[in-house]
Amino acid sequence: MITTLIDRVLDRLTFLDPLAEAIQSRIGGRLAAAGPPARRAKDLLNGTWLGHPLHPALTDLPLGAWSGAAALDLLSGGEATPLGRGADVLIGLGCAGGAAAAVTGIADWQDSHGLERRTGLAHGLLNTGALACFAGSFLLRLAGARRPALLLSTAGFGAAMSAGYLGGDLIFRQGAQVNRNAWVSGPRRWTAVAEEADVPEGGLVRREARGVPVLLTRRGAALSAVAAVCPHAGGPLQEGSLDAEVVTCPWHGSAFDTADGRVVHGPACVALPVYEVRVVDGKVEVRAAPTA
Ligand code: FES
């Protein structure tokens, strides 16, 4: 089984952990020192504005371009025919896309831990190797040295495919970047979850509504109810902080508007589910908004 093999390899890569920690701490320090502009830039790279992580969307460009280049190299026999020149162009395009994918990947990886972080670092190192091979191949092609260029692009293609496999493992087996509220729909019927007096101004109150964790907040007379689990990696929002109506996750700092669930800051990209809320006989009741 390939997954068993991958597990064995990842188990042997524990020596990467101190390196990962050092890199994260360095990047974290730089981001903190740069303040709000750095945070906005990280939001951009995480894909907060897109409602979807940006990195997996960008990886299609280098993988598609490099795969096309491999096919054209095969058809051209590695010669500088029009097809071979087409491969050269695709390799250049793939390198540009690979650089953009690398930056967004680092932004996502910065908020990872444990096995996910180790796998992400291995994925990134393989991709760095792939990018270096293809960049070298591109320069050799420009210089007319097609044989060594072909060797480098073949090595780069192998590294890129291996990195792609690890990227898939990160998402589909380890669950990185998966919305933690993807399967949560909330109670269909009004469900009492708290006494009204249990929800103070400025407080973050977690309750269960038919098994669904709900976060209750108050602003004056207005009560809000949103999912209590951070969609980014499952952080407990009731342990975070509340500023006006914005709740900040204690794990990686994603911030959400409790009035409408919208993401104010990443790394989260997906909004919080919002529930309808009312008070009946002093009890706070919530339900999922009825679907049309
Ligand atoms: S779990 Fe990562 S920001 Fe909430």
Mean pLDDT, rounded, for 16-34? 94
Residue with tokens 């395009």: 93
Token pair, residue 184, equals 């949560």
289 pLDDT more than 90: no
Does 106 lie in the same domain as 199?
Answer: no
Number of neighbours of residue 64 by Cβ within 10 angstroms: 14
Contact residues for 90 (Cβ-Cβ < 8 A; gap 6+): 65, 66, 68, 69, 72
Domain enclosing residue 249, as ranges:
191-288
Mean pLDDT, rounded, for 126-130? 96
The residue among 291, 215, 195 whose CA lies nearest residue 257 is 215
Does 107 lie in the same domain as 17?
Answer: yes
Does 155 lie in the same domain as 10?
Answer: yes
pLDDT per position as a tens digit, 150-169: 999 999 999 999 999 999 99
How far is the C-alpha of 276 from the C-alpha of 261, rounded, in Å? 12
Does 195 lie in the same domain as 154?
Answer: no
Mutate-to-test residue for ligand 1 from 42, 237, 254, 265, highest number of ligand atoms within 8 A of CB: 254
Does 263 lie in the same domain as 157?
Answer: no
Cβ contact 186:286 at 8 Å: yes
How far is the C-alpha of 217 from the C-alpha of 179, rounded, in Å? 22
Q: Number of folded domains in the chain?
A: 2
Number of neighbours of residue 54 by Cβ within 10 angstroms: 23
CA 229 / ligand 1 centre spacing (Å): 9
Whether 267 is in the pocket of ligand 1, judged by its Cβ within 6 Å, is: yes
pLDDT value at residue 185: 86
Does 125 lie in the same domain as 231?
Answer: no
Taking the whole predicted model, whether its pTM rises above 0.95 is answered as no
Whether 141 is in the pocket of ligand 1, judged by its Cβ within 6 Å, is: no
Mean pLDDT, rounded, for 126-139? 97
pLDDT per position as a tens digit, 61-116: 999 999 999 999 999 998 999 999 999 999 999 999 999 999 999 999 999 999 99
Query: What is the DSSP-derived secondary structure letter of residue 169?
Result: I
pLDDT per position as a tens digit, 220-240: 889 999 999 999 999 999 999
Residue 217 counted as domain residue: yes
CA 1 / ligand 1 centre spacing (Å): 32
The amino acid at residue 238 is: Q
pLDDT value at residue 292: 61
Whether 265 is in the pocket of ligand 1, judged by its Cβ within 6 Å, is: no
CA 227 / ligand 1 centre spacing (Å): 13
Does 211 lie in the same domain as 169?
Answer: no
